[in-house]
A and B are shown apart, each in its own frame.
Chain A
């Protein structure tokens, strides 16, 4: 995935689309946008950085997973088998990007009113006591669609494709725009690249 920070306007459509796609409970989100200020008045401006799971080539989360619940698929997606996760939370600590979440309890968005029909349906495969994360919307990919955060982005700041194909749009963009990876010093080799704004 390539995220063009020159285009990103920090609206959080990605964050909410992810929430809607996955039905994650309060306090658990597979995506966030970091917002910060750059520079001093009068040259100050807003800065934004959307953070999904980096689907690293050398995932720190996979390395520490004692049960093998975290695994890497043939195409490079880093996924979690919820049935094998025992909730040790090593992965949550190991991930340098804060992309992992532990579901302690599944809360409701409308508190004591109880779970909405939407939450009941969407969370039927979600358990308490497990670690979860962004899976690049694997079930959408299998239907030939793009991840929800990519399709919804109103600024069209996100690109998704095959990094192993040097002719793909994402590979071209990375080369042309000198896109960078986040926290390369951890040696995780993320698959998410940023075109700096």
Chain B
């Protein structure tokens, strides 16, 4: 059966599920009679992808939503919108939504086990949920996991609810396969990632990430199309010729080997080209810092400051002294110790990583690496400047950026850090045309007392305690991103994880690690061990069907929302740089007996006695600050803080947030309703972080001393307690990733071929699937398109590989990793590296009560592992390119 026939069959089979959902259409609330004959337009704010900032107009006729389209007058999308956003109507009018509160009556749990739901009133459901949560709290509040995810990014109460409850275990299902944050926090004090300045960039190398088109991110696509049209050269190093590679130069690479490619590119720059931004290296990095034989900074005995060598005075001085000329290279005898510059040590380490060495790992021809490195350096225009708003910046129109498909494996953090070194060699960090972080824009890149940029966000290590306080085991992975996989290990193997308490409960709000992380059967096993599961649920997804009580929430279009605009994650240009904005989503009338997740949180907190007073939800909400945008985000400021002893509506809280926003000019929700957004434009020069700490006012770390320090501390602590990392025998397997100079390490999947797993599976976001907000795979409009798309919901391999394995286009195949096994239809494609097995999007799995479309297609994540051996030891990111073998389905029998 072909994809299209299967889709047709599924549409027909949807009817069989009807009894489970009652006579759904008849139970959709009747429209308000006063809206008959009325046409009106609401301001919308799209929530169909992680970015979630496209301004929309929601047109209504007779009380029915007839169209969601881009708002032509509003940034950042000015009327344009992606397929997901255009399809939001079908997420609203979706009979597979959970329409009323329900309580499980069947104690047996499973994805294919009918929970025998009992419909209840909101009061009954909230009482039941509060009672279950109270029991956990009385025993040990740490026993509750609160799991967020891309299914619900509109709540402002989740975090303060967890704090008031007393659990430190709030984590996201969405992050463990996207651990991309640490290096940018370390080198650029920024978050979440480093992006390219498409206003000026002339030569861009991108690896394992998207500039927008791969997942149809609208503002990203606008900038991408403009940059390509103006002639920017784009190099895409990837196992797949993606939407983006198709507009530039594709450099195919064996999956999971980007670290070797980057090391060899850095080698060529350091040992062959030898053209650097010397001024930048001497004045804006710690490359000239003197390092002793133990890898520590040589320090001035008096000031304790790290030292550099003055080649004119022929002596070492604290880095903040007056220098006639700073030595970038050289070996010196100081304080009776032989020491070298950090730059020389990095150069020495990288000497062995020749393109010929790398080719055996990556398959990228050495001449290609050499050409790319040369072109990168040539396009950097080292020494040039540009004036913006009267301020003179270094001008470096090149950038190399990496993300999840590079960082998510053992050594992935190193790959990102080597990328940073490549960028630093041409001096393009945080200057026009170059490599920019995309979080808060302001004076955050200031130096520590060692002169290097202050590590921020996830580069700030969490403290070590033993036994661990967190089920996320952040004590062992102090730079981890979100950690559902570690929580699952803590549930399944609490002793091995040294957890001093048991995880008893799970509160799901938009998070779905079962479908969106790894080894779903292990998650189901973990969920079965829990005594109480509550889902604030939109549809009958995997966590919902395993829940004891369902608290149904609004669809995205029904949620009132006021949000501050974040710098976008794919790229930037002048269309939005410098924009400070808050955006409004006016809710459409509700269809079912659902509630806003934040109202649910307030009701639960009130029942648990943790809403009011000091240490209550409102108290924590008062203290809350936007993690990324900091003081530029929406918070409760000054006179607008909540009174801790009275109940507020969500509208009142948003109104207070807006009034306290530094750029609102005293406006509130009433004024926000006038055009759907309030904007404030900062001068363009203030977007570039160089502006706040120019010249030698701060130094980006190139020798990663902070990483070494955290590793050293971890080693000391583990030895003190006579333990290793949970479920990892040899602590050096992790600690080798904490050396201050990146080096080649093998991922857990690297030697797969020796065990007969001779290919590597890869995954990417697609134009119809980005993060599964609003259950995109279940959206029938998108399904109609993705079932016809040649590269969606199939298993893709190169024709030469298919021939070698005797596999034919269209046949059913099995893809098997050492952790899981999936089946799907084979599609032979020239767009893939011969060692890659391509499986895009997030299809498959689903439950016996979910939209059958969710069960269709291969579930890539089932091939991944929760075993800590597969992680990058710094970020705790799981390997996203598992070694696999592929064979015809008949052979399996």
Closest residue of A by beta carbon distance from B63: A117
The bracket for how many chain B residues form the interface is 35 or more
Q: Is the CB of B222 within 8 A of A41?
A: no
Set of chain A residues within 8 Å of B338, measured between Cβ atoms: none
* A112 B14 Cβ-Cβ under 8 A: yes
Residues of A within 8 A of B798 (CB): 41
Query: With an 8 A cutoff between CB atoms, is B221 at the interface?
Result: yes
Are A109 and B90 closer than 8 Å at their CB atoms?
yes
A153 at interface by CB-CB < 8 Å:
yes
Partner of A118, one of B14, B65, B222: B65
Inter-subunit contact B86/A26 (CB<8 Å): no
Report the Cα distance A117→B557, complex, angstroms: 15
Cross-interface CB contact of B832 among A32, A41, A47, cutoff 8 Å: A41
Q: A7-B228, A154-B216 are in contact. Are A44 and B831 (CB under 8 A)?
A: yes
For residue B472, give the distance in angstroms from its CB to the closest CB of chain A. Answer: 36
Tell me if B224 counts as interface (CB < 8 A to partner A).
yes
Complex CA distance for A12 and B82, rounded to whole angstroms: 8
The stretch of A16-24, A73-81, A91-99, A182-190 in contact with B is A16-24
Question: Within 8 Å CB of B830, what residues of A?
Answer: 37, 39-41, 44
Q: Which residues of A contact B69 (CB under 8 A)?
A: 17, 20-21, 148, 151-152
Q: Name the distance in Å between A65's Cβ and chain B's nearest Cβ.
A: 28
Q: Is the CB of A10 within 8 A of B243?
A: yes
Across-interface contacts of B67 in A (CB, < 8 A): 20-21
Contacting residue for A11 out of B16, B25, B72, B216, CB 8 A? B216
Pairwise interchain contact A16-B86, C-beta atoms closer than 8 A: yes
Residues 37-78 of chain A, each 1 if its beta carbon lies under 8 Å from chain B, else 0:
101111111110000000000000000000000000000000
Cα-based distance from A7 to B25 in the complex (angstroms): 41
A109-B66 CB under 8 A given contacts A13-B86, A41-B798, A117-B31: no
Provide the bound-state CA to CA distance between A44 and B28, in Å. 49
A174 at the B interface (CB under 8 A): no
Contacts of A45 in B (CB 8 A): 241, 245-246, 250, 831
**A6-B229, A44-B241, A157-B225 known; A113 vs B25 contact (CB < 8 Å):** yes
B735 CB to nearest chain A CB (Å): 38
Q: Does B454 contact A (CB under 8 A)?
A: no
A156–B782 touching, CB < 8 Å: no
Task: Please tell me if the beta carbons of A152 and B28 are within 8 angstroms of each other in the complex.
Answer: no
A114 within 8 A of B: yes
| Chain A residues whose C-beta falls within 8 Å of the C-beta of B217 in the assembled complex | 154
Q: Which of B185-217 contact A (CB under 8 A)?
A: 212-213, 216-217
Residue among A113, A148, A155 making CB contact with B213, cutoff 8 Å: A155
A39 → chain B closest CB, angstroms: 7
* Binary per-residue interface labels of chain A (103-135) against chain B in the complex, 1 for a CB within 8 Å, 0 otherwise: 000010111111111110110000000000000
Chain A residues whose C-beta falls within 8 Å of the C-beta of B692 in the assembled complex: none
Q: Check B781–A19 contact: CB distance below 8 A.
A: yes
B227-250: contact bitstring with A at CB < 8 Å (1 yes, 0 no)?
011000000000001111111001
Choose among A20, A23, A35, A148 the residue that contacts B87 (Cβ–Cβ < 8 A).
A20
Option from B25, B82, B212 in Cβ contact (under 8 Å) with A115: B25
In the complex with contacts A154-B216, A154-B221, A20-B80 CB distance below 8 A:
no
Contacts of A46 in B (CB 8 A): 241-243, 246, 791, 831
Do B64 and A118 have beta carbons less than 8 Å apart? yes
- Chain A 135-164 interface mask (CB, 8 Å, partner B; 1/0): 000000000000010011111110000000
Instruction: Give A12 to B212 CA distance when docked, in angstroms.
Output: 14
Query: In the complex, A110→B96 CA distance in Å?
Result: 9
Name the distance in Å between A12's Cβ and chain B's nearest Cβ.
5
Asked whether, in the complex, the Cβ of A154 is within 8 Å of the Cβ of B252, the reply is no
B15 within 8 A of A: yes
Closest chain A residue to B84, Cβ basis: A16
A7 (CB) vs chain B CBs: closest residue:
B225
Find chain B residues with CB under 8 A from A148 CB. Answer: 69
Q: Which residues of B contact A44 (CB under 8 A)?
A: 241, 250, 829-831
* B834 nearest CB neighbor, chain A only: A41
Q: How far is the CB of B58 from chain A (nearest CB, A)?
A: 11
List 27 contacting pairs A-B, 8 Å CB cutoff, sorted by A. A6-B229, A7-B229, A9-B221, A13-B83, A16-B781, A17-B81, A17-B83, A19-B87, A19-B784, A20-B89, A26-B780, A35-B791, A36-B790, A41-B798, A46-B241, A109-B90, A110-B95, A111-B11, A111-B13, A113-B18, A116-B95, A121-B61, A121-B66, A152-B80, A154-B82, A154-B218, A156-B222
Q: Interface of B with A (CB < 8 Å)?
A: 11-16, 18, 21, 24-25, 28, 31, 61-62, 64-70, 72, 77, 79-83, 86-87, 89-90, 93-96, 212-213, 216-219, 221-222, 224-226, 228-229, 241-247, 250, 252, 767-768, 780-782, 784-785, 788-791, 798-800, 829-834
New contact pairs (18) apart from A111-B11, A155-B224, CB-CB < 8 Å:
A7-B228, A7-B229, A11-B213, A17-B83, A17-B86, A26-B780, A32-B788, A35-B790, A41-B831, A41-B832, A44-B250, A107-B11, A111-B14, A113-B18, A116-B25, A117-B93, A118-B64, A153-B80
Q: Which residues of A contact B (CB under 8 A)?
A: 6-7, 9-13, 15-17, 19-21, 23, 26-27, 29, 32, 35-37, 39-47, 107, 109-119, 121-122, 148, 151-157
